Structure 1
């Protein structure tokens, strides 16, 4: 771990060489960069929840996004930390608190700027507190998807989720609800050959640079998942979702092809050529310029002298703010300039301002940056974007995260000096950096970038990207076409989708029964445990089964011990000389008898609970052993054998997802047919293909491939006849026995439909339209049958 918090990734080391084998090798793209999305029309009115974890600078761009989504008729809820409630509500968006303290998070990140914490934080118990905070925010994010509005009490169930990656709950909430999810972020999070992950500091000699860049993303994702995977899986269990396999967690977004929109200017950093169409770079998210009137003292300071330099670190929490203040003041004095010092969350500055320095408590950057000569800040994406928007040369003093990335990008374009990590900051290099920002060349470069950015419409382009990636053909109600479908008719010759409001109207007016409807999944998400080969697949399954058995066996002894610790001897007992407990002497015999009986019952109850916990754990151990031997390991072997062609560059046949016993049986049938035919025909087709490409050498390679395929495909086909249906049956059993979350979602959707029908203008109009269209549809169906 380097001092700036980035991970030193030595790709020549043994562990990195091993890990890179688990990350798909990138190929050079053979197509031009996809065009950025233009206007995309979407006439569906959705409930959208935007989940954001971070500082005010992380939240503010999504306020601009939410306001733009509202213009398209969407109902938008911004779910973030409680401290931003007034900020969000003032913007006209709905707010839902997810918990977590951003100031505490910022203070922690300043002390532990990377993914690996310092020993002091471990000793102080900060890691456990942060993990508990993450668990709290995960729960808050889920509640933001299905809970009533805290202010109005209006029911809300999300139809789509927009989130930044650090919120972590996004994909899992979308899976529980079977709705689309769209990621939006201010820093690169998708693997590319163009530049390394912002949190990675690469070191290599034998690896090709572009490949090193690509691999850095996978390594950072793996390390992130190692720290939070167990917290996320424990939380998933509360949503009745199965745990995410350790090998799948780090790459979920990539595997599931989750749409990504990056909110930085393509004129500053263009979209990498290998990013597919579902990944967009749309421009910075700017909200409308605020109608702001400065306080008299700020107005007077700006009017009575040359434009000052802005210096501030926003939401960063610095341990020694007095020393930082003294450092800044010395640099300002050395240059003889005027400055505005933002107090921020670190409370920088002295008690009172003077003619040279003004201490600022709060002011919108969009207004203030129009009146300064240059800016010095921590390099947060939002503050960086705002400075560039108004053509201000910039000095970045990074503390953690992507801040060094933005500082280096600014320096590479001549918009400011090289970034100065906060631990290296001193009065001299700060003065030199500000001096550079005030040069004509830096000022001109900043104005040029601002002119290019002026032609971009980041927020509206991002909304178009969001609309373009929605599965609109599966989301529309057949009666109220502007409403999203959440129900469908069970018995219908073709799919017939209904919105919350339409379903409520038809049931309320006795056109349908509630039993005629079933939930409609507009975007189903399935997380499969993919295998790379039969050896690692079977081995990992064996290790997983062994771990589960050992944990369950350990719980058979641990849980009773914990139960007895929670219920020690009751206050009415005393311990005699022989260490045997006896009833205490009471003032009356009756009282003593009652106390003794109560104590006896308490001990019996505690013993019973402890024995039940032990028996349950032993039962789990037996269950894990049977499941591992009869289902998990055969499934892993079959999947590993089926995946072998991928090892030498061939495609593996996709037979769909296994959701239940029926799809498991269908998967087994397809795999058997394809495995048997492909296994035997490969002995002839592979040498032929090889000969066409490489002549005699290709024939020999083809013979080797064909022989290998015959063994692997035929074996996978045979094993799969048992493994895949059994896996599907386990899925069906899990779904049947874990229905609490599903029932809660259905109740919330019914409640919102009833609310819309009874309390809104949309319900009054929709009632008439839904009844008229449904009766017309029924009449057409009757006429056709006649």
Structure 2
């Protein structure tokens, strides 16, 4: 379920599981078929056809909302629960004949399909900031100390019970499932095992992390056969390391306005820049000579070419930027993105996040100048890169999945 940043780690995991000799089927939107087919993964399309115009309209509304609860409600209605009955029915069929389901933590319809098929199921999440802890306040509120943090979590749970749970439980009960509590927090995870596909070097596990949640490290897909387009290579060879700008799947109808803000910000700094088109289709017919617009380029390659990366703070993009060893500038739009923006600022590899609604050429240019003049940020980013390179998220994940499958098999055998 989700955008490219949500799906790409599942592609990396599928690729690894196939190499370990397991049979793997992926159930997700048709738009990702070619990506999985390229790696020989059995693909089963689920859900309504992808509608970019509808997504742009929803993004236009979401990006105006800074209140995380109101934003979550809109994401639930326009994303997770949009034609959820079809997603559920398709997953129900797609999962038949398999032994274990690995679901995105936000994919409530997919989880319910696994439950209906009597499949053992685990979840995958990317944001530790949604897991209750006395050591941190609910994201993106800063840490206020254990007593206040605890009170804030309780207040958040009450709001979710009143405003989020009814939305999901209306769907869940309509397909014969059991109601859940605190969906969006503990109610979206497998009670048995949730794999946190994030680097513990970026977001440190808290001492009170519940035992069913396991950090694995981030999951990266190595695209070793990638060939750099000649035009991009020529631009890279022409000058100093550019600023890389990638807003990924953050679409919307305001692509011209966003493009102009980004270009003007870069021009104010005198830097070179590479801007990815992304789902917003950023670009212009005649860009300045110091700016290169590109389509899809693997982040593992692209981000390493830059002096810094300006991005939306999505979990996958954040992980790739940290792995590249360069500082970030985050422009959060929604969901967990403010959490990652504040996390990168806290560990010293990014300035304070700049919400998309507040982004102006002047404010963005100021952050670019701040980052490229900061030796401290550059050094901390390189040190973090070395720690992340020492992690092996996929190997850890596969080991946890195998242990879970073995336990489930033994329990089933004992019950039988």
| TM surpasses 0.5 | yes
CA separation in 2, counterparts of 1:117 and 1:75? Answer: 37
Structure 1 residues 609-688: aligned runs within 5 Å: none
Q: Which residue of 1 aligns with 2:92?
A: 142
Who is 2:147 aligned against? 208
Q: Distance in 2 between matches of 1:350 and 1:230?
A: 45
2:258 corresponds to 1:304:
no
Query: Residues 305 and 62 (structure 1 numbering): CA distance in 2 closer, same or farther, change over 3 Å?
Result: same
User: Secondary structure of 2:224's match?
Assistant: coil
**Alignment match of 1:414 (pick from 329, 348, 355):** 348
Q: Is the 8 A contact 2:251 2:279 kept in 1?
A: yes
Is 1:116 aligned with 2:70? yes
Deviation at 1:197, TM superposition (A): 3.4
Please report how far the alpha carbon of residue 320 of structure 1 lies from its aligned counterpart in structure 2 after TM superposition: 1.4
Give yes or no for contact 1:196–1:216 (8 Å, CA) kept in 2: no
Instruction: Give the aligned partner of residue 269 of structure 2.
Output: 335
The answer to whether structure 1 residue 68 and structure 2 residue 22 are counterparts is no
Task: Give distance in 2, aligned partners of 1:441 and 1:181.
Answer: 43
CA distance, structure 2, for counterparts of residue 389 and residue 64 of structure 1: 16
**Distance (Å, rounded) in 1 between the aligned partners of 2:314 and 2:72:** 23
Distance 1:67 1:428, change over 3 A: same
User: Per-residue deviation at 1:287?
Assistant: 1.3
Greater length-normalized contact order (CA 8 Å, ≥ 6 residues apart): 2
Matched, 1:161 2:161: no
Report how many residues are paired. 406
1:97 corresponds to: 45
Structure 1 residue 474 displacement after superposition: 3.0
Q: 2:195 aligns with which of 215, 239, 261?
A: 261
- Give the conservation status (yes or no) of the 8 Å contact 2:59–2:252: no
Matched, 1:427 2:361: yes
Which structure shows the higher helix fraction? 1
Partner of 1:191: 132
- Let me know the Cα RMSD of the aligned residues: 3.0
Q: Deviations over 1:446-484 (max 9, x none)?
A: 1011111111001111111222223536359xxxxxxxx
SS at match of 2:350: coil
1:274 deviates by 1.5
Partner of 1:17: none
Q: Establish whether residue 82 from structure 1 lines up as the match of residue 82 from structure 2.
A: no
- Offset from partner CA, 1:11-36 (integer Å, 9 cap, x none): xxxxxxxxxxxxxxxxxxxxxxxxxx
CA contact (8 A) 2:315 2:337 kept: yes
Seen in structure 2, the aligned counterparts of structure 1 residues 139 and 326 have a Cα distance that, compared at 3 Å, is same
Matched, 1:232 2:181: no
How many angstroms apart in 1 are the aligned matches of 2:27 and 2:178?
Answer: 24
Q: Does 1:405 find its partner at 2:336?
A: no
Q: In the superposition, relative to structure 1, how do residues 297 and 73 fare at CA in structure 2: closer, same or farther (>3 Å)?
A: same
Partner residue in 1 for 2:379: 444
Alignment of 1:428-507 (within 5 A): 428-438=362-372, 439-472=374-407, 474=409
Q: Give distance in 2, aligned partners of 1:171 and 1:337.
A: 47
Deviations 1:307-347 (A, max 9, x none): 11111211111321111111111111111110001111111
Q: CA 1:322–1:201 in structure 2 vs 1: closer, same or farther (change >3 Å)?
A: same
CA distance in 2, matches of 1:322, 1:302: 25
- TM value normalised by structure 1: 0.48
1:388 corresponds to 2:322? yes
**Residue in structure 2 matched with residue 358 of structure 1 by the alignment:** 292
Preserved contact between residue 202 and residue 212 of structure 1 (Cα < 8 Å): no
Residue in 1 that maps onto 2:119: 179
1:316·1:346 contact (CA, 8 Å) conserved in 2? yes
Greater C-alpha Rg? 1
Question: Deviation at 1:252?
Answer: 7.1
Match of 2:282 in 1: 348
Give the C-alpha shift of residue 128 in structure 1: 8.0
Unaligned runs of 5+ in 1: 1-52, 147-156, 238-242, 477-484, 489-493, 496-519, 521-786
